[in-house]
Amino acid sequence: MIKPSELILGVVHRWPLKTTTNLKENYTHLLLNMINKGQINVLAHPTYLFGKQIELNEEQIKKIATAAFEYNVAIEITSTKRVPSEDFVKICYQKGTKFSIGSDAHRKEDIGEIDWSINLLEKLGINDKNIIKLI
């Protein structure tokens, strides 16, 4: 259980590097660094970058899922961005990673928009015990 005032989300909103060479490898590295510092509770909208979803390969997803499990970082399933992919969520689920349901509301109209997230979790048979809870 996490107290609401203690919930810290980590996210890559802006690309911090000067180049997009090896984008997916560098993005994976950024996420792993964020997770491995042990300072966040939730990895927000993973794979959403430059206004779209980027496709990571299975090895990259497994690295992120394993680190998230080891550092007890939940993976946000983000309705407004429709990320991460079903394959990403499946791999995280297989690794035992917890999930968070989020809207990533950058506009007030998006607050509470979680239908896509709920539908994906139901489709994959992921239930309450795999979702972090606030007290």
In the bound state with Zn ion, the residue whose beta carbon lies nearer, of 65 and 102, is 102
Does residue 76 interact with Zn ion by CB under 5 A? no
Stretch that binds Zn ion, among 27-35, 64-72, 100-108, 121-129 (CB under 5 A): 100-108
- DSSP per-residue letters across 47-102: TEETTEE----HHHHHHHHHHHHHTT-EEEEETTTTBS-HHHHHHHHHHT--EEEE
Residues in contact with Zn ion, counted by CB under 5 A, come to a total of 1
Measured from the CB atom, is 22 or 111 closer to Zn ion?
111
104 part of the interface to Zn ion, by CB under 5 A: yes
- Nearer to Zn ion among residue 79 and residue 104 (C-beta): 104
The stretch among 25-33, 35-43, 49-57, 97-105 that binds Zn ion (CB under 5 A) is 97-105
CB nearer to Zn ion: pick between 35 and 104 = 104
Q: Which stretch binds Zn ion (CB under 5 A): 57-65, 93-101, 104-112, 124-132?
A: 104-112
Residue 78, number of CB atoms within 10 A of its CB: 24
d(CA 37, CA 99): 19
Smallest separation (angstroms) from Zn ion to the CB of 13:
6
Q: 120-129 long-range CB contacts below 8 Å, 24 or more apart? A: 120/77, 120/86, 120/89, 121/77, 121/89, 123/86, 124/86, 124/89, 124/90, 124/93, 126/89, 126/93, 126/99
Interface residues with Zn ion (CB under 5 A) are 104
